[in-house]
Structure 1
Amino acid sequence: MKPLIGVSTYLEDSARWGTWDLPAALLPAAYPTLVRRAGGLAAMLPPDDPAAAAAVVARLDGLVIAGGPDVEPVRYGAEPHPRTGPPARERDAWELALIGAALASGTPLLGICRGMQLLNVAVGGTLVQHLDGHTATVVGTFGAHDVKPVPGTLYGSLVDEETTVPTQHHQSVDRLGDGLTVSAFASDGTVEAIELAPPHWALGVQWHPEMARDTRVMAALVRAAAERGGA
């Protein structure tokens, strides 16, 4: 059986499709598509009661924390920057609980963009609330820049060459959380990947692998999930 990979989602007050305009749990289709391309089965995880996170994670083989809005600065003891976006408190609470449950249970974890930032915050790190040069000039599109792996890291073992990646973020890791290692940098020194040492399989990437053809990062998560689940 293919590993079951949970992917966190948006929760929007209003979304339109067909004749409908209703509250909706949303996830760009590129996420489940990438999970499938990498050999897994995708399950959407909309915001829920954080107390349920451990029970949810116990049913998964792997977990992806998807991209999305800025993490509320109170989560890492900071005041909001003028350029920081409005809070998404339900997502913050739910996804931090999912991360905590994954780390406690040894469930393989991949954080994408916001998900990487939340991983850092979950283990005591902080964020740069605004930086330039990592978003596209056209709203609603992705930019691109190069990232360079750090040899000897998990990410470096998956992708050992400098690559060009799709990017869309204006925040980044500042102080690293406890136990984290930087495993990739952008050319301007911005932290682009972080990871926890074994026995954890926990990796965060600042870019959007779901928008690229390269499946190596997601495939590694799916392999780790299969090994853990005995698939």
Structure 2
Amino acid sequence: MYKKVYCWVRDKDQQLFQKLGQWAEKAFSTMLVDIRQQGSKASFPVPHPLEYDGLLLTGGEDISKEYLEKYGKSQVEDADLIQSPCIDRDQWEFNILEQALKNGKPVLGICRGIQVLNTFLGGTLHLDIPGHNEPEQHNQNIQLLEFEDAPSVRFPLVNSSHHQAIDRTAEGLRVEARAKKDGIIEQVRLNSYPFCIGVQYHPERDLTYYEALFHAFFSSL
């Protein structure tokens, strides 16, 4: 019987996550279920907890001002820096994340996903940062990381490309790695929880290099 991991995948990433899904099916008997393919333009239902085994929060649009303020409990300045927010996505991801954490489901957050996790738990974001979205950073593992003691996984060089990042870390999140050049948070883990990791880099773009992260996630289901 196949396990299921729910996710929301933007159009430009469909091919990448299709490859990840093929690997997950073959190696872990696990299906990636994209809610955008299951729902409709008007409805993206949150599945019942018994219907899925894990949650994958993927990269994509910035979190909307409404959700940043609601969960971060502080007013957002310079909201014009927020790029292409999608309220439907915010609503679905924040609702299923709440349900997943209440039910002990494994969670992996990528790029936007680490930001959703931090925001949901009460943290805040830098709305725009310099030097982390250069073309060469998108697919090349060239950004050097510095690690805290005993990180969940360790990749000394990563392909981190983003314009927002964690500012105030939410209570309960342990910082595991930062960018060496400027201290931007690149990897976190939720304390006292079976499996909940957020990374600011993009492991879906290099499945061979980042195999250990996905292996840990799928093995935890």
Do Structure 1 and Structure 2 share a fold, with TM-score over 0.5? yes
Say which of 85, 95, 98 aligns to 1:97.
95
Normalised by the length of structure 2, the TM-score is 0.82
**Structure 1 pair 182–141 and aligned structure 2 pair: CA distance change class (3 A):** closer
Normalised by the length of structure 1, the TM-score is 0.78
Q: Please name the residue that 2:220 is paired with.
A: 224
Q: Please name the residue that 1:30 is paired with.
A: 16
Between the aligned residues of both structures, percent identity stands at 28
Query: Which is helix-richer, 1 or 2?
Result: 2
CA contact (8 A) 2:152 2:176 kept: no
Opposite residue 185 of structure 1, the aligned amino acid is R
Opposite residue 145 of structure 2, the aligned amino acid is V
Q: Please name the residue that 2:33 is paired with.
A: 43
- C-alpha offsets along residues 69-93 of structure 1, whole Å, 9 cap, x if unaligned? 1111332221344432132111111
Say which of 129, 132, 136 aligns to 1:131.
129
CA contact (8 A) 2:138 2:160 kept: no
Q: Once the 2 structures are TM-superposed, how far is the Cα of residue 200 of structure 1 from its aligned partner?
A: 3.8
CA contact (8 A) 1:61 1:108 kept: yes
CA contact (8 A) 1:136 1:142 kept: no
Pair 1:110-2:86 in alignment: no
**Structure 1 pair 185–75 and aligned structure 2 pair: CA distance change class (3 A):** same
CA contact (8 A) 2:138 2:159 kept: no
Q: Root-mean-square deviation (CA), in Å?
A: 2.3
- C-alpha offsets along residues 162-213 of structure 1, whole Å, 9 cap, x if unaligned? 5221222000001111211111111110000111112341110001000112
Cα separation, 1, equivalents of 2:158 and 2:201? 6
Once the two structures are superposed, the pairs formed by residues 51-130 of structure 1 within 5 Å of their partners are 52-53=45-46, 55=48, 57-77=49-69, 78-130=76-128
Pair 1:5-2:5 in alignment: yes
Cα separation, 1, equivalents of 2:14 and 2:198? 19
Say which of 138, 156, 164 aligns to 1:163.
156
Query: Which is strand-richer, 1 or 2?
Result: 1
- C-alpha offsets along residues 107-166 of structure 1, whole Å, 9 cap, x if unaligned? 10001000110000111111000001111237x9546412233223xxx1432xx52212
CA contact (8 A) 1:150 1:182 kept: yes
Cα separation, 1, equivalents of 2:5 and 2:153? 19
**Structure 1 pair 164–2 and aligned structure 2 pair: CA distance change class (3 A):** farther
Greater relative contact order (Cα < 8 A, sep 6+):
1
CA contact (8 A) 1:135 1:142 kept: no
Q: Which runs of 5+ in 2 are unaligned?
A: 70-75
